[in-house]
Amino acid sequence: MHLSDLWFVAIAVLWTGYFVLEGFDFGVGVLLPVLGRADAERRVMINAIGPVWDGNEVWLITAGGAMFAAFPAWYATLFSGLYLPLLLILVALIIRGVAFEYRGKRGDPRWAAGWDAAIVAGSLVPATVWGVAFANIVRGVPVNAAGHVTGSVFTLLSPYSLLGGLTTLALFVSHGALFLELKTAGELRARATRLARQAGAAAIVAGGGFLAWTEASYRRGGWNGPGTASVAVAALAAVALVAAFLAIRAGRGGVAFTASALGITAAVAALFTALYPDVLPSSTSAAYSLTTANAASEANTLMVMTVVAAIFLPLVLAYQSWTYWVFRKRLITPGVPPASAAVDPAPGRDGR
């Protein structure tokens, strides 16, 4: 295996980690007005992801940085051709992060409601647009001989890419509901369980259809090597999603969440396996496609990146695992203080 192939796999792993971890964050944000029927319940939902959501976004930053360093041509063409969708995601993530920080600064219900709407929008947009973007990466975009994308934003809105957006939205909503089933108690947990069953069924239908379309129309590599592996991984994703649905119906929340994470992992792996050896196919001509060979950095650059990753990646994984372990307990709604208690009363020098 060449280092360029190794970094293609590494980038796929980083995107997988981002979608698995940030996926339930997005799902919780989208479900905020659906499951949270009172302010205390909505704050419990936000607190459930509060210690981890910003750490989960590090996977996105790392994935983008790895693409820039390992495959600069891929990064340049992709981020210029998909500029508007990616800018939309960036703005949504900024609004979402600000909303998490500012929501509790006042005890005014209208203030909280406005930031709740920002959290929902900041979660809904990335959860959908990421699916549209990755569907276009697998399907291919009109790249010319100079490596420039010649289509418009409307070129990206094909039936296949729109189904990709619905698929990621359904997967993340189901994943988020399962996460809340693990992290909450009482009536909020009961509602999350019921919704997880419904969203799980939608994820099976949308995800199964999207992966089947991918394998039938856009898989590279024929029926040998990566081509066969892509079909097998897509089948594993479908099985995992069905297992998550059956587990939550049986009251096995932990098993269901694990199976959901495995389903998202396998789905992302299926997309990258179907894509290989291309990194960005050209719908204009196969000769203009970017591959792991012609889009990669120099061997010395890839070697330095490999050494750095081998040193620091275990430390990052250990720290994030420790964070999840520390904040593993359920949150109980009656234990959340009133909204006004979260506001700093500007105490005097003596603390009163």
Asked if residue 338 is part of any domain, the answer here is no
Q: How many domains does the chain have?
A: 1
Asked if residue 284 is part of any domain, the answer here is yes
Per-residue pLDDT of the chain (352 residues; tens, 9 = 90+): 689 999 999 999 999 999 999 999 999 999 999 999 899 999 999 999 988 898 899 999 999 999 999 999 999 998 888 899 999 999 999 999 999 999 988 888 899 999 999 999 999 999 999 999 999 999 999 998 888 888 788 888 999 999 999 999 999 999 999 999 999 989 999 999 999 999 999 999 999 999 999 998 888 765 555 667 889 999 999 999 999 999 999 999 999 999 999 999 999 999 999 999 899 999 888 899 999 999 999 999 999 999 999 998 899 889 889 988 888 888 776 555 555 444 333 333 333 3
Asked if residue 340 is part of any domain, the answer here is no
Asked if residue 279 is part of any domain, the answer here is yes
DSSP conformational letter for 347 = -
Q: Which two tokens stand for residue 76?
A: 């340049």
**Closest alpha carbon to 181 in 168, 190, 173, 172:** 190
Quote the CA–CA distance of 90 and 82 in Å, as a whole number: 12
Is the sign of the CA dihedral 312, 315, 321, 322 positive or negative? negative
Asked if residue 22 is part of any domain, the answer here is yes
Q: Is the bond leading into 33 cis (omega within 30 degrees of zero)?
A: no
Asked if residue 110 is part of any domain, the answer here is yes
Q: Which residue range(s) make up the domain with 93?
A: 3-332
Asked if residue 346 is part of any domain, the answer here is no
pTM for the full predicted model:
0.89
In order, the DSSP letters of 107-145 are --HHHHHHHHHHHHHHHHHHHHHHHHHHHHHHH-B-B-T
